[in-house]
Structure 1
Amino acid sequence: MKKYILSIYIGFAAMILFGCKKTIDENIRPFNDKADVELLGTLDGLSSATNGNYALLVTSSANDASYDASWFNLSELKGNNLYAITRAFPQTRDDAYTYANSPSQGATTSFWRVSYRIISGTNKIIDAVKDGEDAAHDQIKGENYFLRALAYFNLVRAYGRPYYQNNGDNLAVPLSLNSLVNKDFQPKRNTVKEVYAQVVSDLEKAAALMNLPRSGNPNYYASKEAAWALLSRVYLYMGGTPTAPQNTYNTKAAEYADKVISSNKYTLISGTAYTNAFNSDSKTNKEFIFDFKHDDANGNFINEFLAPRDVFGNPWQGEYTASPDYMVLLNQNPSDLRMSFITVETDKRITATDKSRNTVNKYNYQQIFPLGGFDFSAKSRSGTSYLRLAEMYLNKAEALAKAGNTNDALTAVNVVRTRANAPAWTTATLATAGLTVFQAVFNERRLELAWEGNSSFDNFRNGLPLTRSYIDYFFSAPLTIQPDDKRIVYPIPLVELQLNPNLQQNPQ
């Protein structure tokens, strides 16, 4: 029997099974012996179930890769900040990089399924909590609205075309907004515009409801400011292109960025604190607004894409380095502190005479070794940054640049630029460099937010082609992908098409 809900493995049951065993919260209590009604009838139960939803961001479950590892694959490997130096796992880990877009062998299946597990789990809690019961219940409900919005926003970016194309009327993903789905639930795909509207609605509700910070206020729990930060990003994605801006949305992007900045809850860290920002426990990072927390039970798998074999003795890892394009941009200012996020190493797998590689070390904090001291991976305890304060300044700068507010845009981008020990831009130095304010902001986003889930999206949402002006393991000539190319979005997984005949596949 075709059951669409089975394609997401009854998300709440999966949440309970895996959330309690692989927790991100040290104080979580097992709850897989409770029925849904009992579990969701108490504040403790709702909190535990919500922790299970957070855990789904970092756990591997039901033979699917972890959410954040799949998201890194889908978001970063289509960009031009990474460079393939070898092929370790055919298809699975290079499908996005090569734009092959297999509907069955890439990361798309795991990402789709885990995304809808998160959505199913959040729907259960949202439906169980009455509005206005008390501040504690409101907080729990708001956190789940935030998680649902995050899941849908990443889904619409992966499977739907940029917002400006066809006025948002292209197909995206199905919206499932309550827990009362049955075996016959086989929804059609909603449009990009409809999914964005739902994301905005969820985040507005989340921001209104979240007024009680979690104990210790760690940044791997959602907060009012996290909802504002994601709203800033969402509106920026709705803000059109430099040549055809939608300044109603750009104004919103800047306003929400300002709300986060003026909250004074986060700090744009500098100096050695900045150069060590990704080489420490992420929960102590005062710049992170929201991140995915990793621990020994749930190691960060992203590092395995990046760590060279010679470091950990593993013949199957470390396919990607910082790209030559990225290094050219970074090397324009030799004193740039972002040099610290690159480690120059030797990799014998490189076939060229020069075997040096520019290893990305943002995910290399404390590799996790199993008992016996040998590992067939390079998992680490690094947190995965999803939202941080630097992006708020850059969101504001881009939105203002599109609106023609040159002076304020330069002020915002220079906050990030000078923090990294790069010279501030002026109208005169921009003219000398042959750059517009928007181009300067665009380059700064690339420098600052590299390998954090933005690559390629920043190009395509702005109507810009993505160019790799280098050859690598897969390509014998430079690669250019236009923003209207059918390959910029991922295919719907084949198993989902089989389970739900109402789903329409993306053009292949």
Structure 2
Amino acid sequence: MKNIILYVFLLISVFQVTGCKKFLEAKSKEEIIPKTAIDLRELLLGNGYPQATSAYFHFLAMLDDDVQLNTASSQVGTTEIVARFPVYTWQPNLYDNTYTLPGLSGSLTSYELLYGWIRGCNAVLDYADDVTGTTEDVARVKAEALALRAFHYYYLINLYGVPYNKDKSAAGVPLKLVSGLTENPIGRNTVQEVYHQMVKDLEEAISLFKAISVTRNDFRINLPAACILLSRVYLYMGEWDRSITSATLAAERGGALTNLTGQNAPYFILDYNSSELAWNFGSQDVSFPPGFLPSPDLLSMYSEADVRSKLFFNNDQTLPAKYSNDFTVSKFGKGMRTAEAYLNRAEANAEKALKGDAASLQAALSDLNLLRYNRIIGYSDVIINDANVLREEIRKERRKELCFEDHRWFDLRRYGMPEITHTYKASAGSSVVTFTLKQNDPYYTLPIPDGMFNNNKLLTQNPSRSQAPRVGQ
């Protein structure tokens, strides 16, 4: 039965696979079943990894407070701008007209896209104990599949589930842990259940990765990347000590921080030429067209000596410039970096310092100063004795360092879902209006795409879908 299920799965998926060889080209049911660890790695590459040809949630940059429409731009009223209106202004029907432009449809079906990749991970895990291969090869493909499954669920739960620190017992997303079809529909697991599964997968992946060599520059998820993700998940859960432990392992086993103070523009931090990049993935099809700007609030946070203001943005600071302009399959638009490990650890220690732990305050301050030393010309260590002030400084540093890398929207959710505003202008002759996302707005948990309810009668919609259309003032 398992062989039949995988046979059907592979037939459906074969046209998405770019690296699979003999076992996908076989003509009989028996030949198409993966028999080696190498077969499984090829299957995972084509069906479990984010693809370079699909937009990978670049719409997240349109949701947060790091972006603003340039209402004086000649681009106002163009198709590129209008297509982003539903997500930029937080409309409940964002899926009806959003991202119909070529190359951007990945954001329209993010729910389906993620579950498709999870299905690929599940297929690999279903067969990982049955294939032949060296102990290291089997361990590596299993570790990659587990880490990737957690990675995809991380996006799902933070797009479509409420923040963990708001209500972990609330409806999250369905947990699908096998590749085969189920006889009955699957309802939504709780936020806590999804997080616990992510932790379980990542801890098992890390255990497997520890026994094998770390490979970088091959576009495969690895030990440092899995540790960074686990430290992030624990941070979201408020598990400070565990976040610190995972971040420390990431810093120890990953690349050193890149000293940017000696770099010249253009410098792409999300490139394997950067020593601190642990894993590079996803598309460079960045959904940030002319007409949209990094917000003045974000840009004002960088001092003159902070080289990120020059390296992370183009010369006139109208576009983020973290992404290489080499649009080939050897370059990808997203990544996990050692810098995040230091920021995760610093924030977790700052939270402990709020409870009166003096050693944690010094540890948090040390990580903050180290990152700044590698980003700001002539930087001298600062002394901060107030834990509240220190936590705020770390959060600001996180925003400056990780902007446009899919962090800010998720960080705003766990920071209490503050009110933010976006200005908009429909056409050259129209007035400028302001759209507001209110404090604790239901839209901080996105609507599930309407089409997902057709085949799953147990699936329930989020309150953000039933909101009235948002109107600018």
Map 1:66-465 to 2 at 5 A: 66=54, 69-73=55-59, 75-85=60-70, 86=76, 87-89=78-80, 92-102=83-93, 104-105=95-96, 106=98, 109-130=108-129, 134-166=135-167, 168-182=168-182, 184-210=183-209, 211-213=211-213, 217-218=216-217, 220-239=219-238, 249-263=239-253, 265-271=254-260, 278-279=267-268, 282-292=271-281, 300-302=284-286, 305-306=287-288, 317-330=289-302, 333-339=303-309, 340-345=311-316, 358-367=318-327, 382-404=331-353, 405-421=360-376, 423-424=379-380, 426-427=382-383, 436-465=389-418
Q: CA deviation at 1:206?
A: 0.9
The answer to whether the Cα contact below 8 Å between 1:12 and 1:120 also exists between their aligned partners in 2 is no
Q: CA deviation at 1:186?
A: 1.5
Deviations 1:86-135 (A, max 9, x none): 35346653432211132632466411111111011111110101189722
Deviations 1:430-483 (A, max 9, x none): 88xx97111100100010000000112112202151434x73436945555345
Q: CA deviation at 1:344?
A: 3.6
The TM-score normalised by the length of structure 1 is 0.76
In 2: Cα distance, 1:409 partner to 1:56 partner? 33
Change (3 A) 1:481 1:435: farther
Q: Which amino acid aligns with 1:44?
A: I
Change (3 A) 1:495 1:226: same
Q: CA deviation at 1:30?
A: 6.2
Q: Secondary structure at the match of 2:24?
A: coil
Aligned to 1:51, which of 40, 45, 54?
Answer: 45
Q: Which amino acid aligns with 1:84?
A: L
The answer to whether the Cα contact below 8 Å between 1:460 and 1:466 also exists between their aligned partners in 2 is no
Change (3 A) 1:392 1:504: same
* Structure-1 residue corresponding to 2:459: 503
Structure 2 segments unaligned to the other structure (5+ residues): 1-7, 71-75, 100-106, 354-359, 466-473
* Structure-1 residue corresponding to 2:446: 490
The answer to whether the Cα contact below 8 Å between 1:43 and 1:137 also exists between their aligned partners in 2 is yes
In 1: Cα distance, 2:413 partner to 2:270 partner? 33
In 2: Cα distance, 1:101 partner to 1:364 partner? 33
In 2: Cα distance, 1:278 partner to 1:94 partner? 31
Deviations 1:45-75 (A, max 9, x none): 112112213554323xxxxxx2xx24121x3
In 2: Cα distance, 1:293 partner to 1:500 partner? 28
Q: Secondary structure at the match of 1:396?
A: helix
Change (3 A) 1:94 1:387: farther
Aligned residues: 426
Change (3 A) 1:82 1:234: same
Structure 1 segments unaligned to the other structure (5+ residues): 1-9, 60-65, 240-248, 295-299, 307-316, 346-356, 369-379
Q: CA deviation at 1:281?
A: 8.1
Q: CA deviation at 1:275?
A: 5.1
Of residues 119-128 and 474-483 in structure 1, the stretch that sits farther from structure 2 once superposed is: 474-483
Q: Secondary structure at the match of 1:58?
A: coil
Aligned to 2:16, which of 15, 18, 22?
Answer: 18
The answer to whether the Cα contact below 8 Å between 1:146 and 1:227 also exists between their aligned partners in 2 is yes
- Aligned-residue Cα RMSD (Å) equals 2.9
* Structure-2 residue corresponding to 1:471: 423
In 1: Cα distance, 2:437 partner to 2:406 partner? 18
Q: Which amino acid aligns with 1:136?
A: D
Q: CA deviation at 1:420?
A: 0.7
The answer to whether the Cα contact below 8 Å between 1:135 and 1:212 also exists between their aligned partners in 2 is yes
Change (3 A) 1:174 1:44: same
Identity %: 25
The answer to whether the Cα contact below 8 Å between 2:225 and 2:336 also exists between their aligned partners in 1 is yes
In 2: Cα distance, 1:466 partner to 1:14 partner? 43
Change (3 A) 1:236 1:219: farther
* Structure-1 residue corresponding to 2:469: none
In 1: Cα distance, 2:423 partner to 2:121 partner? 44
The answer to whether the Cα contact below 8 Å between 1:414 and 1:425 also exists between their aligned partners in 2 is yes
Change (3 A) 1:72 1:425: farther
In 2: Cα distance, 1:176 partner to 1:122 partner? 11
